[in-house]
């Protein structure tokens, strides 16, 4: 049997490993942390279960394929629960907007903001369906290995004005500023600035509308566990708590990997689900290609980081939906602070995750699990003492905002709390600059312009996950696994 190693047990790495093992490739996953999941890590504290993320599951069919490869059913290992509304969007003036794929309900919500925008939304939906077909269905699982493949895709990209931003395109269809924010914020979930990210990412609206928004019973961590179960059932091996320290090469070929414990394995192919800069600069440091690519990537634009406050509280909150976006008083100005200026603003916008409204098992009886996520500049733009004063101050400000807008007596209810900062992304995930989503999803850093699914020089070195095509988010990294697996299987055979 041919042997392959996958570095990192994130969603992309697990999806790739399942595809390889299903095809008869003897595959080993090597994970530095004590649990699989990558960004889908979790903690159990004081009876509460806290998912690190990602907590918005879309396109469940892309996950189901990983079981269908061996004739099994994903539902045998994990229950996905529908979330409705998909999100409740809330503004400081008290306006709420429930966002879902309930057509009549959504149109009523739009009409409350601006009746004239109902027709404009219908045109936006038609546009979103077009870019979904071109950008996701046709290109989302196909590797871009040469510029010719980019040229081939160019007419479709031009037809849908891919050079424009998502916010700009949305604004051409609807007039309400709140609705413009409601239809463009999705790019933030994959690390993109709505003001600069290509309009192609408007496809996320169609993706959610068709496939729904879901939550894994027990938390995202249970979906990770189900993927590990499927992989090991097929005969795959997972090594936990043993970081890869070197990917060894001879000429333009990978020969094996060595880990921190001293373990060594020889492999016919290696794929990295780790941070792209870390992989090239540190793991391939003895290779001229690794050093050169690492230096080049370090000059690219990376997505922001995140500051996440996890808290478990007494009481249940049926009036707070599973997913909320708490917009701040500014939209473009705040985005400029995060993406351009590198300023930690006094105001902020939050994504609030409340899983116990869907699955009470994630907290002790009569209690609730939450996290509040705040996009912040990466450490290249805003180096700070995140472990100390800066982290504590921002945590308290975030709790103040939730207290003011949703839970008036939150501090008297808190039973356990902790925060996860850009410094943690750097330490735990080797994330370059503490970035939460790898390369920023700009048009000039997408498809062929992103890290290729197979290295251009080292012919049996591959990449999967947020840093390669098509990008971040569960559908994105699972799509990258499909693209990378196709290359690996063709090469190994």
Evaluated on CA atoms 154, 155, 156, 157, the torsion sign reads positive
pLDDT digits (tens, 9 = 90+) for 250-298: 999 999 999 999 999 999 999 999 999 999 999 999 999 999 999 999 9
Nearest CA to 217 out of 82, 320, 41, 325 is that of: 82
State yes or no: pLDDT of 121 exceeds 90: yes
pLDDT digits (tens, 9 = 90+) for 40-76: 999 999 999 999 989 999 999 999 999 999 999 999 9
Nearest CA to 351 out of 334, 383, 329, 327 is that of: 327
49: number of Cβ within 10 Å: 20
> Which residues contact residue 111 at a Cβ distance below 8 angstroms, ignoring those fewer than 6 apart?
117, 118
At residue 140, the pLDDT reads: 87
* Confidence category of residue 156, pLDDT binned at 50, 70, 90: confident
Please give the DSSP secondary-structure letter assigned to residue 146: S
State yes or no: pLDDT of 99 exceeds 90: yes
Rounded to an integer, the average pLDDT of 132-138 is 90
- Please indicate whether residue 33 or residue 144 has the higher confidence score (pLDDT): 33
Mean pLDDT value across the chain: 96
Contact 462, 270 (CB under 8 A): yes
3-state DSSP helix/strand/coil % of the chain, to nearest 5: 40, 20, 35
Please give the DSSP secondary-structure letter assigned to residue 273: -
At residue 439, the pLDDT reads: 97
Rounded to an integer, the average pLDDT of 402-418 is 98
> Which residues contact residue 19 at a Cβ distance below 8 angstroms, ignoring those fewer than 6 apart?
66, 69, 481, 482, 485, 489
At residue 146, the pLDDT reads: 87
Q: Are strands 26-30 and 237-239 parallel, antiparallel or unpaired?
A: parallel
Nearest CA to 143 out of 457, 486, 458, 474 is that of: 486
At residue 152, the pLDDT reads: 85
Q: Quote the Cα angle for 212-35-217, to 5°.
A: 30
Q: Check: pTM over 0.75? Answer yes or no.
A: yes
Secondary structure of residue 132 in the 3-state scheme = helix
pLDDT digits (tens, 9 = 90+) for 465-483: 999 999 999 999 999 999 9
Nearest CA to 337 out of 182, 193, 439, 188 is that of: 193
At residue 147, the pLDDT reads: 85
Q: Are strands 3-7 and 26-30 parallel, antiparallel or unpaired?
A: parallel
At residue 153, the pLDDT reads: 85
At residue 117, the pLDDT reads: 98
Rounded to an integer, the average pLDDT of 431-455 is 95
Q: Which two tokens stand for residue 272?
A: 């990295």
At residue 139, the pLDDT reads: 84
State yes or no: pLDDT of 138 exceeds 90: no
Rounded to an integer, the average pLDDT of 365-379 is 98
State yes or no: pLDDT of 431 exceeds 90: yes
Secondary structure of residue 79 in the 3-state scheme = coil
pLDDT digits (tens, 9 = 90+) for 222-244: 999 999 999 999 999 999 999 99
Peptide bond into 18 cis (omega under 30): no
State yes or no: pLDDT of 150 exceeds 90: no
Secondary structure of residue 485 in the 3-state scheme = helix
Q: Which two tokens stand for residue 95?
A: 């306006």
* Confidence category of residue 157, pLDDT binned at 50, 70, 90: confident
DSSP assignment of 279-326 = IIIIITTTSHHHHHHHHHHTTS-B--EEEEEEEEEES--TTS-SEEEE
151: burial class by Cβ within 10 Å (0-12, 13-18, 19+)?
A: exposed
Secondary structure of residue 333 in the 3-state scheme = helix
State yes or no: pLDDT of 321 exceeds 90: yes
Site of tokens 């070195």: 461
At residue 169, the pLDDT reads: 97
* Confidence category of residue 182, pLDDT binned at 50, 70, 90: very high
Rounded percentage of the chain residues whose pLDDT exceeds 70: 100
Rounded to an integer, the average pLDDT of 73-86 is 98
Residues forming a β-bridge with 27: 4
At residue 149, the pLDDT reads: 86
Q: Nearest 5°: phi and psi at 201?
A: -70, 0
At residue 311, the pLDDT reads: 98
pLDDT digits (tens, 9 = 90+) for 326-340: 999 999 999 999 999
């Amino acid at each position: 049997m041919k042997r392959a190693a996958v570095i990192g047990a994130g969603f992309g790495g697990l999806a790739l490993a399942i595809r390889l093992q299903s095809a008869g490739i003897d595959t080993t996953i090597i994970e530095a942390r004590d649990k699989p999941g990558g960004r889908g890590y979790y903690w159990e504290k004081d009876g509460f279960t806290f998912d690190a993320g990602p907590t918005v599951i879309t396109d469940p069919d892309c996950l189901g394929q990983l079981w269908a490869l061996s004739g099994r059913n994903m539902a045998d290992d994990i229950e996905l629960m529908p979330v409705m509304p998909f999100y409740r969007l809330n503004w400081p003036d008290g306006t709420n907007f429930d966002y879902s794929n309930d057509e009549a309900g959504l149109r009523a919500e739009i009409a409350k903001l601006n009746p004239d925008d109902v027709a404009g939304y219908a045109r936006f939906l038609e546009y979103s369906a077009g870019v979904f077909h071109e950008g996701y269905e046709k290109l989302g699982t196909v590797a871009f290995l040469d510029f010719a493949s980019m040229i081939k895709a160019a007419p479709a990209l031009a037809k849908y004005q891919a050079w424009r931003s998502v916010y700009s395109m949305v604004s051409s269809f609807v007039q309400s500023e709140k609705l413009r924010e409601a239809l463009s914020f999705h790019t933030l979930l994959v690390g993109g600035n709505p003001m600069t990210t290509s309009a192609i990412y408007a496809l996320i609206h169609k993706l959610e509308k068709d496939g729904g928004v879901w939550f894994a019973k027990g938390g995202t961590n249970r979906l990770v566990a189900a993927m590990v179960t499927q992989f090991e059932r097929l005969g795959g091996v997972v090594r936990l708590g043993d970081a890869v320290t070197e990917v060894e090469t001879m000429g333009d070929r990978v020969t094996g990997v060595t880990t921190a414990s001293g373990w060594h394995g020889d492999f016919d192919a290696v794929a990295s689900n780790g941070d792209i800069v870390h992989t090239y600069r540190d793991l391939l440091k003895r290779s001229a290609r690794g050093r050169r690519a690492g230096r080049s990537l370090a000059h690219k634009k990376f997505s922001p980081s995140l500051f996440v406050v996890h808290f478990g509280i007494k009481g249940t909150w049926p009036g707070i939906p599973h997913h909320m976006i708490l917009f701040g008083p500014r939209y473009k100005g705040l985005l400029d602070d995060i993406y351009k200026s590198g300023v930690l603003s006094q105001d902020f916008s939050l994504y609030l995750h409340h899983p116990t409204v869907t699955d009470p098992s994630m907290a002790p009886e009569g209690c609730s699990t939450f996290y509040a996520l705040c996009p912040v500049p990466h450490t290249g733009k805003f180096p700070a003492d995140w472990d100390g004063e800066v982290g504590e101050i921002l945590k308290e400000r975030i709790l103040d905002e939730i207290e003011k807008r949703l839970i008036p007596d939150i501090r008297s209810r808190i039973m356990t709390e902790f925060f996860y900062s850009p410094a943690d992304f750097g330490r735990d995930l080797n994330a370059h600059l503490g970035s939460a989503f790898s390369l920023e999803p700009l048009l000039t850093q997408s498809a062929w312009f992103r890290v290729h699914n197979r290295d251009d020089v080292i012919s049996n070195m591959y990449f999967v996950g947020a840093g390669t095509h098509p990008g971040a988010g569960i559908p994105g990294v699972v799509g990258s696994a499909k693209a990378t697996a196709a290359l690996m299987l063709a090469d190994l055979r």
